[in-house]
Structure formats: structure tokens, C-alpha cells
Chains A and B, each alone.
Chain A
Amino acid sequence: MYGFAGQMIRINLKTGDIQKRLLPESFANEWLGARGMVAKILYDEVPRNADPLGRENKLIVAPGVLTGTFVAAGSKCGFGAISPATNGHADASVGGHIGPELKFAGYDLIIFEDIATEPVYLFIEDDMVELRPAKHLWGKGSLDTEKQLKDELGEDFEIATIGPAGENGVVFACITHDFGRNAGRCGVGAVMGSKKLKAIAVKGTRSIPVYDLKSLTAQTEAIIQRTKPHPNMAPWQKYGTALFVGWSNDQAAFPAKNFQSSYYEDWPSIDGERLVKECKVADKACFGCWMNCGKYSRAKVKDREVYIEGPEYETIALIGGSCAMTSIHDVAYGNYLCDNLGMDTISGGSVVAFAMECYEKDIITKEDLNGHELRWGNINDFEFLMNKIAYQEGIGKIFARGTKGAAELLGKDSIKFAMQQKGLESSGYESRWAPSMLLSFMTADIGAHHNRSWSITVDMELGRDEIKGKAPVVVYLQHIRPLFDTLSICRLFWGELDVMPSEYVESLNYVTGWKTTEEELLRTSEKIWNLTRAHYLQRNGGPGRKHDMPPARYYEEPVPNGPAKGKVLTLESVNAMLDEYYEARGWDKEGNPTAELLQDLGLDYVVKDLKKIGQLGKPLPGGIPKVRGQMLKPKAM
């Protein structure tokens, strides 16, 4: 078996039992790794009524078939679990070096089951796999834990950790690696914490078997030389994703004050230029990536000086714009707080922004905050709430549930501006004048995350006000974009440097010896999509449409300022987009997958599961579309 390291590990944390076995070839070939393997294992193994933070949930760690090989940025590692934020399938990926390291140690998949009696961490050095006591690490910050484990074990171990937020069940807790890279979304860190698993430390010294290394090397060397002079290369290397702060404002897509607006007047104080000038200390790349988008920074706030990788675009959007910060140091410091406490910066920023708006609207008061305040742009207030959340103290207990959970407790129509979908806070793109971007968020299987489909450029190309004709493109993007998370490599060479999907297919065939095609891979991606959708419906009931409705802000409140001033969607237009989307997917009008589609994708076993809960889509009069999804590659920004 080429491309895969060849082994999987199943660990029962309660008994300490560690079972190693060969990775089943048919399973690996069908699900490819990361998001694919996560989807199948969660579907098959976790009871539908399992508490996401209980013993029956599983934490899965899975790099993918291309991770660690000589391809454009084969750096990623997938983490998966049932999400405490969405109560559905969740996968989150992290770059850095731990995915490749796991494969160099010989493993493609780790499944953690049950709950340890005392805090532990997993130690892996090639064949040696053991659970070690982690009492001395429990309670420590993510970054502090990584440093301590490196001091204990050696610099050449790759480490993934959780912080206090993960230990304390904050539903948007993340898993942190490489001093500031995160498997950020969906609360995978809370699941890790619920299992009393503090960290994973890995060192591997083996090679990954590649079918045709000579051809792979020639191909990738050519891609390296071709992309070095690409016009997007230099700006990416200089600013990383922070490059897009100004662009996003120009496009009226930047979230300001909890998405009240799509234009943030103070953006020049928190953009890439400021970051590079005032905070950056080094460029930092993931494994095998020659566009090094990571900016390692030093932030000076109050009497403190802290170091962190970032802030990148999303963090600047959610902590910067959405909380209305006016200094890049404050944003970087907020980034550090989130990372060390172990919280996703997207959800973390969004939750604080939501709380600030609740404070502005008197839904929460000084009294609720023990005399503290939650003022826009105030880093002290930000820090106060972050600490309360991470340790589940006082008002923090409410906001540790995420914006949706908090809004359900707070009431007073706050759900209308809880900027999330299915319980996952939205990435940093305000979408009242970008309908296809909103549709991407509305329909994403894990909630409002931009790694599923990013389509503002589709709105630009097909018309910013246009509602119709975009859904099939969103469907295509929802297949191609997560495909990178399945192969477990970075998508940015595709998105920004014009490395074509066909080239990745070629790489995959060199690595594995397969003769697969782009069409087949997209079909696998579609299969995974439908599996996770069906899983979500089984855990949360149906019909699907009710889970796909966006926060009311998008269709009730016109944008107050900036290039999109006055723009707002309507409930009718939102529903019209869903109608077109379901049709393009081969789902029924209520957003439930049909038997014909599931059977076509080889998911026959899902048909009976959906039938059992009464959520199998009604047969479509004209049958399912033969081609689902329409290609329109987003232009690089």
C-alpha cells in the first residue's frame, strides 16, 4: 500500500489498552484520510445519542494519503469528533509538522475512546506508543505545555496540546500545535479535554512508501520552480493571509462589530502592513511549503510582551474587526490569549464580539459582569471575558457554550445576531452583499466555516446582487475545497498559485500507483458530504432546511455603511438560494438527501438510517441531476 504509513492505533483511555493494527487497505482507498476517515468512523462507531463530551464520543487523529509526501504543502493533519458546538460530525485540520511526523512514525490513524481516569498524554516514537501521566501539565496553557513537553522529550518531537478551555469543556476549544497553529474549529479541543487527554507527542524516523518517487519528484520540482515567480508569491510570503484585510473591506466583506457592518473604518490599523511593520519577528511555514504564509509575531500590550504565530486574516477579522480593535498589537495579544487558553480565534473572537453587542444592547449588564464592562475595542475587556470563558467562571459559563448556546440562554432576540450556523461561528466574511458566500456558510456540513466553500469571488464574477445561478458553483466548491482536507494537504497552492486540481491528481497517482481521476475524487468528496449531512440529520432531526437558515441579521438589517451600504437579503431570497442548492445536490425540497442519490454514491446503508428517522428525501420527479456542481474556480484575490 503506497502513500499510507500503513498502521492505525486504537486507544481505550479508560483501560489504557493500545491496539495497533494494519490500516485496512479497502478502507484507506475508499476514504483517503483525514476528513474522509473521520466521517466514516464517526458515522459507524459513535451512537447517535452520545454526548459529545461523554465517554461514547471518539477523538480521531488522521493525516491523509498525501501528508508528508513531496507535494505542494503536504502538511495537514485532521482531527475529528462529534462536535459539542454543533452536535454533528466535525473535522478540523492543522498544518505545521505533526501530520507528517505521525506518518514518519508509521501511523495514518489514531482513534481515542472513552475517558482516562487521570490526565494523560500520548507518547509516540516509532514503534513505542504509550500513555504517560500528564498531571503536571493539566491546567497549563497550550503554548506553555508544548514548550514544557519539548523541554522534557526533545526539540524534535512534534506536539499537539489543549489548554484550559479544552480541559473545561468550552465548546469552541481547539487543539494547538507548533506554537500557534490550530485544529481550530468545532470544539475538537473540548472533546480531547473531556477524555483527559492533554497532549500528543510524536517523533518518527521512517519513510513513507511512494509508488513512483522519481516522477513525483520531477513534478513537484517543476511546480516549485514554476510558482516561485508567480505574482502572488511575493505578497503571500510577505504578509500571509493578513494581506487580505484591505481587500476584504474594499469588497464589503469584512466583519465589523459582530457583523453589524461589512466595512471597518479602522482596518488600516490592523492590516498586514501593520502586522509586518510592528509585530512580525519571523516567517513560519508548514511542512514542505514554500509560500510560508505564517507570520510569527511579538505583541506588546500593557506591561506584557507575548509571542504568537499570527494573527492571520481570520483572526484579524474576528478579534480585530468584529471586536473593533484599533491596534494590531491588541489583535495579536488576543490571538495569543486564545491560543494559550486553547480557544479557536474565529469562534473566540466571534463570541466576544457577540457578548460586546449584548452589552451594547443591555442584554447583559455591568451587574452580570461583576462590575466589568465589555466595550468595543477594549483589549482588557476582551481578556476579562476570555479568561472567564476558559475557566467557566461566572458569565463565562454562558459564553463557553458558543454564540448559539449563549443566545438560547440570554434570549431577547439575541439569536438574530449570533453569527453562526448550526452552532459554529462564521468565518470572517460578512455576506449580505455576497449571497453565494452566505449560501456557502448556510449549507456547510460542519457549520459556517470557509474551508468548505469560499465564494466571494463567485459573487464578484456572477454579480454581487445576483441570487440565481450560484448554487451549483457552491456545490462544486463544497466538493473541491474539502477534498484538500481529505487528501490532507494545504489548498492555498490551488487557490493562490494556480496549481491545478489535475496536477494534484497526478501527484496522488504517483504517490499511490492508482489511476484515479479528478472526477472520481470529487465523487468521493461528494460522498463524504452526504454522509456527514445524513449524520447531522440523524443526530439533530430534520428537515435539513431548518438547519440551513442563516442568522436574521442577514435578511433583516441593511448594512449601515461602507461599499455595501443599504444591502440586505430577504427571507425569500435566502429560501430561493436553498431551493436551487437542494436541486443542484439531488436533495428534496426540504434539504434531505434522496435514496437515489445516496445509492448512486454507494451510501446504501444510509438510506435505511434516514428512513428510520423519517428524514429520507422524497424522490425527485425528474430524478437526481447527473452532474452535481458546476466548476468556477474562484479567482485568486
Chain B
Amino acid sequence: MAQVENRLEIDAPAARELLESDENAVLVDVRGADEWRGGHIPGAVLVPLTELTERIGEVAPDTGQRVVLYCAVGARSLRGAQALSELGYERPVSVTGGIVDWLARGFPSSLERTLEPDQRERYSRHLLIPEVGEAGQLKLLGSNMLLIGAGGLGSPAALYLAAAGVGRLGIVDDDVVDESNLQRQVLHSTSRLGELKARSAKRTIQELNPDVEVVTIEERLTSDNVDDILVRGWDVIVDGADNFPTRYLINDASVWHGIPVVHGSIFRFEGQVTVFKPHEGPCYRCLFPQPPPPELAPSCAEGGVLGVLPGVIGSLQANEALKLALGMGNSLAGRLMLFDALSASFTEVAIRRDPDCPVCGDHPTITEYVDYVEFCAA
């Protein structure tokens, strides 16, 4: 698997060199039309991943032609390169790091975007950090993040991601604001009791930062809707679910869609946070092959949680998500961080990709959605 992926990937400098030296090479942007309009690589043609295998013949009639694919960060384009390889194309390649890395290297883009004057003011404390600067802020404004849950963890995560200027935030939640939520779910307020959390979240975020486009998905995440939700161009998923079936569903779907997950979980005084990067690091099933038996799997609704704890863990999730979008620092991929509020201590343990993992391993045995409630009750 690793060898195949290496053959199908090249980095941005190598891609640029190849495109300059091979005049028959075709550059294909496999993102969506909205992303394309936000800036693309000059000379590229837009063929969204969902249409790639049908339409590739129009742009690259010769299967011996060099086809260079890119997306935002390189996950979708790698899937595209694999699909073209299976279709008989001899040398399809995906640009690792996608257009995000391309732009970070100062390579040419169709739109030389700059910040508006009021954005310079709003994001001035980011612009003052040399490692972020205008280029970093533009990356954040062009990033797409999906939050699963607008509750304890989703509240601080959404607030900080919105304040930081993440361009598009998706919020999946079908629950309504309840009085018992307000002890910790700081996106909502007493006046919003009974309102859908996704809508309440949208109102709060729009008040905070009108730059952010909020996409509300007022549904519970299930095997039936997860694919439709995940294909909408997300760079990062922030998992703030409160039950094991949803967590395993998010894991399997994210591995198959190639989207990194920033994972957080909390109980009473303790929290866990990590990052799952599909195929680069471990997934949730590598870390926890089995959920605990139901009697040992209480939710916060059953076991309680200190109100500030999701504030700590959800903020750490926002930190990881922002680092992924900016492409800087060391992510928590491969490390599980444990926080204990009572001793005020962090502990870190190493987690590794399991080559025998049923979903992300070398010979996967789970290749389609299962009955997650049954799996977690077993």
C-alpha cells in the first residue's frame, strides 16, 4: 500500500518542475467549484473528484499522458490518482499537501488574494505572528472545517475557529438547547432554550465573525447521511460526539474519505485529545479496537462532567485544527494527550497505526458501514 501511494504522489516543487518540462502533462483540480473560485493553480482544469473517472477522457484522452491532480491538502487528489491508475492511466500523480502547500511555497495562483482593510484589523494579532502572517490568515479564511456536535466540545472549538477566521464551518447536530447544557455549552444561552443547537451556534458565530460561512446540518450523523455530508469539501473534522457508535462511524467514514479527525472526549474530570490522520497515523480503531461494554460507557448525560473540562479539551481541539489548516507545528497525530483537571496535569501516551487494523490496516476487513449500535453493544 505504502509503495503504491508513494508512486502516486509527488510534492509541489516536483509537480511544478514536471508541469514546466512536460508540455503534454495535464493539471487537474479535483476540488469543488466553490473552492476553485477561491483560487487555483494557473493552467489547471476543474474536474471535481466525483466526476473524475467519467470526465477524465475529455481532458486527458491519452492514458499515457501525465496527469497531475491536486485538491486542498492532497487527500482527495490521491484518491483520484488511485482511481485513474485503476482506470488504466499509466502515470497519474497527486500533489502532496495540495494547493495549500503550493501556495505556502509562494508558487503562482490564479487569484492573488489579499486581506480587506477591516480583516487586517480583525486578524491583526495573527498577522503580527511571523509564522502566521497574511499568508496564514488567507489559509484559514480558505479552510473548511466540519464540527460533529455543537455541545460541550463543539462550543469552544466553534467559537475559537470562528474567531480565528476559518472560512467555512459545518455544524452537524440535531439536538435542541436544554437547560442542562448551559453549564458548559457556551455557544448557547438561556434565551435559546428549545432552539436547534446548530441554528443557535450559527447565530452566535455570525455575531462573532461575519467572515465565517456557517453550514448547519440539522441531522444526526448516520451511516445513511455521512457520505453526503463528508463530500462537501472539508479539510478537517472536529469530533465532539458523545457516544461510541457515532465515534466509530466518524472514524470509518473519515478513513474512507481521507479527512483528518481532531478527536476529543471528556468524562467527569478527565479528557483525551488526539489527531487521526488517515493512513499517515493511527485511526480511532487502532487506538481502541473495541468500545467498553455498555455499562462502562456512560455519557456525560449519565456520568456528569466538570463544566470547564470541555472548554479545555475543545480548545485543544481548535488548536490542533488550526495547526492542520496552517500546516505548521507538530500535530497530536500518534500521541494521545490525557488531561486530569483535579491534578491539573497532562500525560501523553504514544499511539501507533496498527497494520492489522480492520479499517486502515494493510488488509482491511471492514470496507463498508456496519451497524454501529450493534458493534458497540456487543
Chain B associates with chain A: no
Binding site for B on A (CB under 8 A): none
